[in-house]
Amino acid sequence: MPGRKRLRELQEQIRATPRARRALVVDDSTAHRKLLARQLERMGFAVDEAVDGNAGLARARETPYDIVVSDWVMPGLDGLAFCDAVRRLKGDPYTYFVLLTSKTGKEDIARGLEMGADDFLSKPVSPTEFRARINAGIRIVETQRELSDQSRLMAAAFETLQSVHDALDRDLIEARKLQMTLVRERTRDFGPGRIAALLRPSGRVGGDLVGWFQVNARRVGFYAIDVSGHGVASAMLAARLAGILTSVTPEANVALSLSGRNRADPWPPEVAAARLNRLLLDQIGTDQYLTCIYAETDLKTGKVALVQAGHPHPYVLRADGSVERVGQGGLPIGLIPDARYTRVEVMLRPGDRLLLMSDGLTEATDTDGRELGEGEVVRLALEHRDLPPDEMLEALVWRIAERSGSDEFADDVSAVVYEFTGGADPAD
């Protein structure tokens, strides 16, 4: 990856860059200039000299210096103007600037600091004090250099992380597209009954799953699942479950039993839940668990048998406007070996609807931060009871987004609506 390569190259460059100390002495007095240069050479510096500020500035433009020692009073460009010009140069590392002066007034010192000087030495310069001041300056320069190196490395590392993030984000966008295809159909009319599903991950991908499969001409199984956690791991388990709960491969479907005549018959919902629980614990072996509702309906009679495994309660929306809460809660799938699940049966009459919804809907909050709850979600659903099931779900999500003040939900949102229409009998 280009970002990683650049980071490695920068690390190599920093390690390979020589740390030789360079100093520049600027003074119109040859004797004084040579004296200071000799002291700096004894301290391990490579030293250049300049006779005045203009010559010093020409040197500074060509060479980055760790230390500049300059006389204040010089013909032409004096030390103060020279210091200001050096500070205007864009360079790295930081240059520690020492002004040599006989000026000791507070105003002079303030002017020097304002122009960028770091330290001052009075003439004549004491060798001991000179060494101490230069050593202090080197500590500052080396600290600045380390910070600069770290800043460059952090910038390169950020660039690397950004490239990784961008690549991952592109992959997640594609993964979201694939996940949305897990719900192959958003609505289906079976004649005596019709069904609609809604799936909207809160991030790029999510752990909710909804769907249905037709067992035979008379029976349909449908489900709503919420895998614990968020993100890629939850989405991968949801995708695995989508491959299991299908009529395409009935031999792998935990809700179906194949007879000797290769005919698929539905397991009772409580048995299907127990089989899924064993599959999750014994074969898939993940630390994740899930909540779900699995239901199986008889298209001829309107009878629905279902099991609730830790998922929010399903609701029956009667044609006469009444509402019935269904289920006892139940244990999530994938937590407890040999967990038992209880079947609940509901008889739907023509025009009745069964609503399954995830906690992404029930735990949505309004603009004041108050959780809507199951009752309010059902009330909003009833306002759109006359719409077809798929349109009712879309309107429900729109109303909840309106109440929340945002169409970005904190959790994955999913729902299934099954309506028993009581039309022509399906073939046995």
Q: Which tens digit of pLDDT belongs to each residue from 193-224? A: 999 998 887 766 567 888 888 888 889 999 99
Q: Is the pLDDT of residue 310 over 60?
A: yes
Average confidence (pLDDT) over 300-318: 94
The pLDDT assigned to 347 comes to 96
Tell me where in the chain the CATH 3.60.40.10 domain(s) lie.
Answer: 181-420
- Average pLDDT score over the chain: 84
Q: Please tell me the distance from the alpha carbon of residue 24 to that of residue 69, in angstroms, as a whole number.
A: 6
From residue 368, how far is each of 364, 365, 380 by CA, in Å? 11, 7, 18
Q: Is the pLDDT of residue 332 over 80?
A: yes
User: Hey, which of 86-95, 154-163, 365-374 has the most confident mean pLDDT?
Assistant: 365-374
The pLDDT assigned to 228 comes to 83
Between 225 and 20, the higher pLDDT residue = 225
pLDDT tens by residue, 48-64: 999 999 999 999 999 88
The pLDDT assigned to 359 comes to 87
Q: Which residues of 416-426 are buried (b: 16+ CB within 10 A; e: fewer)?
A: bbbbbbbeeeb
Q: How is domain 2-153 classified at the CATH fold level?
A: Rossmann fold (3.40.50)
The pLDDT assigned to 3 comes to 53
Q: pLDDT tier at 261 (50, 70, 90 boundaries)?
A: low
Q: Is the pLDDT of residue 169 over 60?
A: no
Question: What string of DSSP letters covers 243-295?
Answer: HHS-SSSGGG-TTEEE-TTS-EEEPPHHHHHHHHHHIIIIII--S--EEEEEE
The pLDDT assigned to 345 comes to 95
pLDDT tens by residue, 401-416: 888 888 777 788 889 9
The pLDDT assigned to 1 comes to 47
Between 164 and 216, the higher pLDDT residue = 216
From residue 272, how far is each of 35, 258, 339 by CA, in Å? 94, 13, 12
Q: Is the pLDDT of residue 363 over 70?
A: yes
pLDDT tens by residue, 25-52: 999 999 999 999 999 999 999 999 999 9
The pLDDT assigned to 305 comes to 96
Q: Please tell me the distance from the alpha carbon of residue 56 to that of residue 262, in angstroms, as a whole number.
A: 95
Percent of the chain at pLDDT above 90? 39
The pTM score is 0.64
Q: Is the pLDDT of residue 231 over 80?
A: no
Q: What are phi and psi for residue 186, nearest 5 degrees?
A: -85, -20
Average confidence (pLDDT) over 307-321: 94
CA angle 60, 66, 70 (to 5 degrees): 60
The pLDDT assigned to 7 comes to 55
Tell me where in the chain the CATH 3.40.50.2300 domain(s) lie.
Answer: 2-153
The pLDDT assigned to 170 comes to 63
From 220, 405, 415, select the one nearest 313 (Cα to Cα). Answer: 415
The pLDDT assigned to 428 comes to 45
Pick the CATH number of 181-420 from 3.60.40.10, 1.20.200.10, 3.90.220.20, 3.30.420.40: 3.60.40.10
The pLDDT assigned to 306 comes to 95
Average confidence (pLDDT) over 15-32: 81
Average confidence (pLDDT) over 419-428: 70
The pLDDT assigned to 8 comes to 63
The pLDDT assigned to 183 comes to 62
Q: Is the pLDDT of residue 360 over 80?
A: yes
